[in-house]
Structure 1
Amino acid sequence: MKTLLLARVHLGVVAVLSVLTLSACLLVAGLPRAMQGSFDDALRRTLRSALAQQVDLTVRFESHGAEEDLRERGQFDSRDKEFRGLVPAALKPLVSPPGTGTGHMSAETFNTPVNGAGGSTYINLGWLSDADKRVSWVAGRAPGATGSTRWNGASIPLYEVGIVDEARSVMGLQVGQTKIIGETHPAAVKIVGVFQANDPADPYWTHHSEILHAIEVVPPGKVDSEKYTTALIPDSALAALSGADRNLTYSWVLPIAPAAGGSFDVPELGAAVASMAKTVTLHAADNGAGSAFSRSQYRLDTGLPKLLSDFLTALATAQTVMFLVLGGLLVVALGVIVLGVQLLVDRMDGALALVRARGGSLRQVAGGGARLVALAVAPAAVAGYALSYLVPGPMMPVVHAGPLLVLGTAVGFAAARLAVTHRTPLHERRDDVAGAPPSARRITLEVLVIGLALAGAYLLRTRGLTTQVAEEGQDPFLLFVPVALTLAAALVTMRCYPYPLRLLARLAARRRPAVPFLGLTTAARARSAGVLPVLILLPALAVSVFAAVISSGISSTQRLASWQGVGAPIKLTSRLNLPADAVERVRRVPGVEQLVPAQTGSVQLGYLGETAEILAVDLAGWQRLLDGAPISVPAAPDTSSGVPALVSPELRGRRVLDVGWQQRTKVVERGVVPALPGFFTQGKFLVVPFGVNQRPMVNTLLIKGDADPAALVKAAGSGTVTTQVGALAAITDDPLTGSVRGVLLITTVALAAYALVAVVVMLVIGAADRARALSFLRTLGLSDRQAQGLTILEILPLVLVTALVGLALGLGLPAALGPGVDLSSYAGDLAVGDYDLDLITPTALAAGLAAVALLGAYVHTAISRRRNLGAVLRVGDLS
């Protein structure tokens, strides 16, 4: 057989099949790369956006005596080299070299009281290995050598120290002052300079916020505040600093470089961190001078495992969603290619039958057809695979396997179809004979598939998943249920849709016009050629609708999560009390429409040390501020008998609580609230009226409007502003969320395009037979308008029924999958459960399919009208 001659004869179909193959291979090879690349970007962004204190590997050691002290910088350097040698191989690419990033060494004391201050003022000492690069001196000078001084008749160390500028205003410290620190082992600190950070926004300072800021806090159950600051000391002070006299901790920070991370490595990275933590704990360090640390005193402090675990959970969910939608896209793409192969095989049927009748073997016939299909799809598959290299992202096995699967499916289907069709020479097929009814075996198998699909969906809803997806991979059961449900819906559709059409055909037979009866009767005839369009259209619509519903559900839940996270359009919080004039200044800021002051804090319950969080606020004013928002707050309780309080479930049933805040107050339980937007989600908490204290200390402002956050902070004098818009942006800007929604959008568009192509190919496959039938009917007086109606009635029912079933399946899949797909990671940790039935996209898809079917009917009728009726009659006579 001359393959090139056949290709030239059927050039149009070959071209269509090539385009379909090219697009399919590009999608199945390119989308996984793009998806995996986005996952890698998401990991790097997650590491970059997290606090350096959370990401970096910090080895700590607490000295308890002179034999454990490090007296000079060289000892720190040798320890740093030793700790870097303990880093597992999987972590080494992520650990930055010494002296880069946030890497450094430090020594700090903690809880060092100022002598005679009654435990209200603390000045700690801190040494940073790279302080000369991190700070600049704005007053005085840098600290110098450590000396000694006399105090209470004894000689004590005298440290020259520098303080942060905040300490001057918060703690009243000044250059030139000398303070005595410590009670049992006193020492003197002389303030010789004031420093500021060269770059306060540098992630480095998250390791040492206590050095960069002076802190004032009110401990639970107390009225007076406590003030803390950490003063910088020079290298020379290390010789005098000892764990025998102070609470002293040494630290070595090994910085993590986010750019070196990859999502494939996340499970291995988590295990590597755990291994290093164990190794550090058990390691006995010996610097060659005979000194050694106790095995129990080493520890590795890092939030990296928790960060990686959370990312892995979100990644596993993203992979699950991607697997479902990309798997559906692959199935639909293969189905459309199979339709194209069927169209080409049908066009070659006459020529191949002639070859078979003239003595050609079945191998020659099937092989010749398969070679023609291979000629059409192989170059396109290679081109699609090559184009996928333009998509940024790592290479994975699926990138290579996808195009091979497409190529193998096309060629294999062609060979199998031709082998079955031409297994005997001069095969005859009469379309006017009703097909044989399905066998009992086939009916039993179909019922079994439908039953298993329904049972699988029920079990998935009731039992959930049997594996920890983040740790053990995808649960095969989760991947089985959508496929089984789609197959079951396709089987039910194929079996049931002819029956209502036959009923309509019987009703149409009683009427005078013949077109409705002929059209519905033709549509109701169950033919094998109608199987593939159903199997393609149904999953295409189901998966695209599923993707649209998931995307819409994520979007609406993200908005709800942003409101619940902030609790108001704008929230200003301050560590310090906001006086009345500051609140009024904020109220007058342009853009502020409503303002509700509030006070938060920790209170003592009773007299046994039990504590709880508390919020004093005007609930009625807060509710007015939230008018039109998707969240609400509880109604204000009755204040007629005592001070009312809304309590958390942990405090339920106590009726009356003795609260120690600014003053001792008895509050009466008036209701239970499980959570409060913007403030509490769990634990012990109370909500009381704003005037519960005689002098409310406002530290929180709830604001409605579009005021500038910087202007609000300036008017208040201090504080931090969070907005609902900003919280929503932080959620939606998450790279994993963007990846999921981006792939869902691409998949929806691609599946819609494939569905339309399937309708067009379905029209073309039956075009010859349909044109012949219309030509015969035209000799009997069929008008062009009647021919169009007949074509529409033949095609449109299958399209509409399949579209409705696909729509129903797509809307039901999120509920059917239930706990199997946890999308809370992409919605601010809020469960995505109530999916809005937004029918815009599904309706547009169904309308597009119907429009294509109608357009195809008109085009087909116009082409049929050009045929010579005499030629048709002669062909009919010969057949």
Structure 2
Amino acid sequence: MSIGAVIRRVRAHRGQFLLLAVLTVVIVLLVGGVPRVVNRLAEQGLREHLAAEPAGRRDLTYTVPPFLGAPPASSQAGQLDVLQQQMPADVRAAVADRWYTAQTTAEQVTGPDLTRGDHLVELGLRAMPGIEATATLVDGHWPDGSAAGDAPVQVVLPADLAARFQLRVGSRLLLAAPDPGKPAVPLTVVGLFRPVDPADGSWDALPAVLQVIEPEGDAEPFVLVGVVAIGALDRLAAEGRAVSFSWRYRLDAAAIDVRRIDRFVDGVQRLARADAFPQVTQGIDVPLRAFDRAVDSARTVLAVIAAGVLATLAGLVVLAAASAVRRRRTEFVLIRARGGGVGTGLRRSLAESLLVVPPAAGLGWLLGTLLPGTPGGTGPLAVGATVLVTLALPVATLTVPSGVTGRRDLGRLRPSARRATTEAALVLLAGLAVVLLRRRGLTPGEIDPLLVSVPALVAVAVSVLALRLYPWPVRLAGRLAARTRGSVAFLGTARAGRAAAATPLVVVVLAVATAAFCAVVATGIESTRDDVATRAVPADALIRGDRLAPDTGPALERLPGVVAVAGLADEPAQRLATDADGTDSRLRDTSVLLVDGPGLDRTVRAAGRDVPVPGPLRDARPGAGPLPAVVSPAVAADLSAAGLRSAFVTVQGQRYEFTPARTVADFPLARPDTDRYVVLPWQALPARNSPPVPTGFLLAGDRLDVGLLRQAGDEGQQRYQTGGAVTGRERPRSVAVETWSQTRLRLGGGGANGLLAFGFTAGAVAGGVLALLAIAFTVLSGARARGAVLSRLRTLGLSRRQWRGLLLVELAPLVGVSVLTGALVGVLLPVLLTPLFGLAAFTSGAAVRVGFAPGLVAATVGLGAVALGFALAVETLNNRRMRLGEVLRLGEEN
């Protein structure tokens, strides 16, 4: 067998081999390129995830607490290299920046300038080697560490803080001694600076240099940090002042391998758990563990989607090989007739495949390497896929019958006993695999062979059942069509009732099921995120604070865009009592929520949120007896076990009796960190001398200004604190304002969400495109037989319009049942598999709710219409190419 003969045969059948080559390129490109994209998105998600965390959580800090007799601060800077070398290799490689500081404890400082401002200030002195490169002098000069021992210690301060306390270059201060028997230390301000980049990690040490610690009470001091030379700090340590040391390392997310996060976290935790000196503190393990769980879940979903896409491509390869062999069946039969054996055609097909498939696989792998990202180590999979595609055509050659076959359109085809047994075994195997997978579970993040095979098995099994059952209603429709006038409906249903041409549509079911699976799971995640956001903020905005003046509600209603306001009071960790005297019920602590039932109902309706307010809260009115309350299942169970029909709970110093009127498993506004809560109707509270005041407000409106809401809330807190008989000394913390849109955006942005979105988008698009391609294969598989029938009917007077109608009637049942079956499988698979994916990592811990989506029906109908139109277009183009007038002179059907 010469290579020239092989090349001539490939050129003669270039259409079939081009199709096989394109499929090979796509398969190898997906196997080699998609893991790169996945790794790149995971790395990008890790950077975004850690960037959203506070800077301190990305630091690995070694600290030595303040102690007397400390070694010279200048000698400890070299510990930066020593400590880094002692880190595990992965952690050491991730260090991006590092800083060394030494600091004295803060002591009271006095001076003429501070006296004029009537400020009570404590000052800590810190040595920060390298500050000259990260800050710019505004006035003065940097401190000189070689000053004489009796000279004042030179200090530089941030310009903004110095101006606040009326300090300037030349200001003289006196730092109090930690012990009464020691002399005070004179200080002089020699320079003022501003940071080049306030976000630079060198300023993140606590307490911060660029910020002042505000006093919590009227008699409390301000706390500042001044920068001195390292030599001056050595002098202070020699005089008996306690000095602390800190070596801080900033970890770079770009240097952390997302494929080995577990090993990195273990290394960090070993450092933190080690009983060593200095002490190690870190907080990066928590966000890394959370991100790793999300990536593992996303990789599991991606494995299922990839399995569906690759199974569809494998089916297309089988169809392409079968189509190529079917078109060359006469050639292989002639080889047998001339004395050739089974191996002759096999060797011929293998030589042709070796000439086409491996080069196409190489091209696909090369294209995959051009995609950005870390290689996924899928080279063996690409080689295995290439081998299987190469063997597809030779194996299909073995199925060519050795004799002459009769016409297949004269009678009804019945499945053989072997085929029926195979299909029954396939259905049983799919059911067994589903049961085994649900009972056994899986490890998220690992490519489980059973997990990736179950969707394909279920899709094939359901498609086999559907394609075996669908001819019966079609034949019934054919009997009804036989009683009507015209031949289009009768002939179309008669041909559609034969199941032989329906076999390739199993591939269509696989493709549509993959696309539907992606759409259903993505919709379920989005709807669950909506529910989580609505549970946290059941309207448009939520203000939470300490205690706010009662007139804060009317003040909020006057703000632009606000249409409804409802007050609430939240009391965490309250003890339940059995009587009005406060006898402890010996039940666990319970969170108490006080809401205005009618106001809450009005506000959630104005915001358009689907949040039903229970009747006991909405309809309660003041009266004798206990308050009707909505309780959690845990509280209801405890009260029932204790034999209590009612109980007492304290709200802002007042005790109220309640009785469980409704049990609700998930009440909006309840604290997410507890499953024990009692919700009382505010409008039904009995009159007391000290009625409760709100700790928050729920708002509904359009284009709400968060700044105005925060300002109104802070003013409400201030009015409550200063409006009573006793004025609070501590300044109230600013209220927290959270909007529904911000909560929803936080749930769906950053982290591994981009990886999951890529998988769903790519799976849906690939499933839809491959479904259309599989439908084209299905149409072309029976094109010659349909062409012969249409040629005969055209000679009998069939019009073009009737011809298109006949094609539509014949193809509509096949296309419709395949698309509908694929959509059904795509809805069924999430119900079976979603509990195994661990998708709660993407919904703030809430279980993903997968259910019926009306949009899926419209999408299925639209896909069916597009598929049917595509099938008609393919058939029309093929008939034009074949010239229907010549079809009767071609093939054994003649």
Secondary structure of the residue that 2:398 maps to in structure 1?
Answer: helix
State the identity as a percent.
25
Distance in 2 (CA, whole Å) between partners of 1:878 and 1:695 is 94
Closer, same or farther: CA 460–18 of 1 in aligned 2, 3 Å: closer
| 1:658-737 aligned within 5 A | 659=650, 661=652, 664-671=653-660, 677=668, 680-683=671-674, 689=682, 694=690, 700-703=696-699, 704-713=701-710, 716=714, 718-737=734-753
Structure-2 residue corresponding to 1:154: none
Closer, same or farther: CA 600–795 of 1 in aligned 2, 3 Å: closer
Structure-1 residue corresponding to 2:225: 232
Secondary structure of the residue that 1:469 maps to in structure 2?
Answer: coil
Aligned equivalent of 1:324, options 300, 304, 311:
304
The 8 Å contact of residues 788 and 884 in structure 2, kept in 1 or not, is answered as no
The 8 Å contact of residues 522 and 760 in structure 2, kept in 1 or not, is answered as yes
Instruction: Output the amino acid matched with 1:759.
Output: I
Instruction: Output the amino acid matched with 2:561.
Output: G
Structure-2 residue corresponding to 1:431: 408
The 8 Å contact of residues 542 and 738 in structure 2, kept in 1 or not, is answered as yes
Deviations 1:108-144 (A, max 9, x none): 86999x9xxxxxx996957464695678999999999
> Is 1:774 the counterpart of 2:790 in the alignment?
yes
The 8 Å contact of residues 333 and 400 in structure 2, kept in 1 or not, is answered as no
Secondary structure of the residue that 1:867 maps to in structure 2?
Answer: helix
Structure-1 residue corresponding to 2:168: none
> Is 1:483 the counterpart of 2:456 in the alignment?
yes
Distance in 2 (CA, whole Å) between partners of 1:177 and 1:650 is 61
Closer, same or farther: CA 801–660 of 1 in aligned 2, 3 Å: closer
Closer, same or farther: CA 185–614 of 1 in aligned 2, 3 Å: farther
Structure-1 residue corresponding to 2:92: 92
The 8 Å contact of residues 353 and 391 in structure 2, kept in 1 or not, is answered as no
The 8 Å contact of residues 334 and 409 in structure 1, kept in 2 or not, is answered as no
RMSD: 4.8
Instruction: Output the amino acid matched with 1:760.
Output: A
Distance in 2 (CA, whole Å) between partners of 1:651 and 1:200 is 49
After superposing the two structures, state which structure 1 stretch, 389-398 or 374-383, moved more. Answer: 374-383
Instruction: Output the amino acid matched with 1:590.
Output: P
The 8 Å contact of residues 603 and 660 in structure 1, kept in 2 or not, is answered as no
| 1:5-404 aligned within 5 A | 5-62=8-65, 66=68, 70-98=70-98, 103-105=99-101, 127=126, 129=128, 132=131, 198=195, 208=206, 212=211, 214=213, 230-232=223-225, 234=228, 236=232, 251-278=246-273, 280-281=274-275, 283=276, 299-398=279-378, 400-401=379-380, 403-404=382-383
Secondary structure of the residue that 2:373 maps to in structure 1?
Answer: coil
Deviations 1:606-636 (A, max 9, x none): 7999987666654543442222124456636
The 8 Å contact of residues 20 and 357 in structure 2, kept in 1 or not, is answered as yes
Deviations 1:799-827 (A, max 9, x none): 21111111111111111114112322223
Closer, same or farther: CA 876–739 of 1 in aligned 2, 3 Å: closer
Distance in 2 (CA, whole Å) between partners of 1:183 and 1:604 is 44
Give the TM-score normalised by the residue count of structure 2: 0.78
Shift of 1:355: 3.6
Secondary structure of the residue that 2:251 maps to in structure 1?
Answer: coil
Secondary structure of the residue that 1:96 maps to in structure 2?
Answer: strand
Structure-2 residue corresponding to 1:626: 604
Shift of 1:863: 6.2
Deviations 1:48-71 (A, max 9, x none): 2212222222234446x64xx634
Distance in 2 (CA, whole Å) between partners of 1:124 and 1:594 is 49
Closer, same or farther: CA 638–165 of 1 in aligned 2, 3 Å: farther
Structure-2 residue corresponding to 1:493: 466
The 8 Å contact of residues 519 and 791 in structure 1, kept in 2 or not, is answered as yes
| 1:598-617 aligned within 5 A | 605=575
Shift of 1:332: 0.9
Uncovered stretches (5+) of structure 2, i.e. residues with no partner: 111-119, 146-152, 166-170, 576-581, 716-733
Instruction: Output the amino acid matched with 1:570.
Output: A
The 8 Å contact of residues 647 and 659 in structure 2, kept in 1 or not, is answered as no
The 8 Å contact of residues 519 and 793 in structure 1, kept in 2 or not, is answered as yes
Distance in 2 (CA, whole Å) between partners of 1:110 and 1:810 is 65
Distance in 2 (CA, whole Å) between partners of 1:387 and 1:638 is 72
Closer, same or farther: CA 474–326 of 1 in aligned 2, 3 Å: closer
Structure-2 residue corresponding to 1:152: none
Closer, same or farther: CA 598–402 of 1 in aligned 2, 3 Å: same
Deviations 1:722-771 (A, max 9, x none): 32222222232224212212231122112211111111122222222222
The 8 Å contact of residues 791 and 884 in structure 2, kept in 1 or not, is answered as no
Instruction: Output the amino acid matched with 1:81.
Output: D
After superposing the two structures, state which structure 1 stretch, 345-354 or 34-43, moved more. Answer: 345-354
Distance in 2 (CA, whole Å) between partners of 1:32 and 1:437 is 44
Structure-2 residue corresponding to 1:502: 475
Distance in 1 (CA, whole Å) between partners of 2:845 and 2:515 is 25
Structure-1 residue corresponding to 2:723: none
Distance in 2 (CA, whole Å) between partners of 1:799 and 1:677 is 46
The 8 Å contact of residues 787 and 884 in structure 2, kept in 1 or not, is answered as no
Closer, same or farther: CA 467–552 of 1 in aligned 2, 3 Å: closer
Distance in 1 (CA, whole Å) between partners of 2:122 and 2:592 is 30
Secondary structure of the residue that 2:328 maps to in structure 1?
Answer: helix
Secondary structure of the residue that 2:89 maps to in structure 1?
Answer: coil
The 8 Å contact of residues 505 and 775 in structure 2, kept in 1 or not, is answered as no
Secondary structure of the residue that 1:751 maps to in structure 2?
Answer: helix
The 8 Å contact of residues 561 and 702 in structure 2, kept in 1 or not, is answered as yes
Shift of 1:585: 6.7
Shift of 1:573: 4.8
Instruction: Output the amino acid matched with 1:407.
Output: T
Distance in 1 (CA, whole Å) between partners of 2:758 and 2:265 is 28
Deviations 1:832-853 (A, max 9, x none): 1143412232222222112222
Distance in 2 (CA, whole Å) between partners of 1:373 and 1:327 is 24
Shift of 1:674: 5.6
Uncovered stretches (5+) of structure 1, i.e. residues with no partner: 115-120, 146-157, 218-223, 284-292
Instruction: Output the amino acid matched with 2:43.
Output: D
The 8 Å contact of residues 632 and 677 in structure 2, kept in 1 or not, is answered as yes
Distance in 1 (CA, whole Å) between partners of 2:355 and 2:885 is 32
Distance in 1 (CA, whole Å) between partners of 2:488 and 2:349 is 38
Count of aligned residue pairs for this structure pair: 816
Shift of 1:168: 12
Distance in 2 (CA, whole Å) between partners of 1:15 and 1:876 is 24
Closer, same or farther: CA 3–477 of 1 in aligned 2, 3 Å: closer
> Is 1:421 the counterpart of 2:400 in the alignment?
yes
Instruction: Output the amino acid matched with 1:667.
Output: Y
Distance in 1 (CA, whole Å) between partners of 2:601 and 2:155 is 55
After superposing the two structures, state which structure 1 stretch, 251-260 or 232-241, moved more. Answer: 232-241
Distance in 1 (CA, whole Å) between partners of 2:352 and 2:50 is 52
Closer, same or farther: CA 277–618 of 1 in aligned 2, 3 Å: same
Secondary structure of the residue that 2:672 maps to in structure 1?
Answer: coil
Structure-1 residue corresponding to 2:6: 3
Aligned equivalent of 2:444, options 462, 469, 475:
469
Structure-2 residue corresponding to 1:449: 426
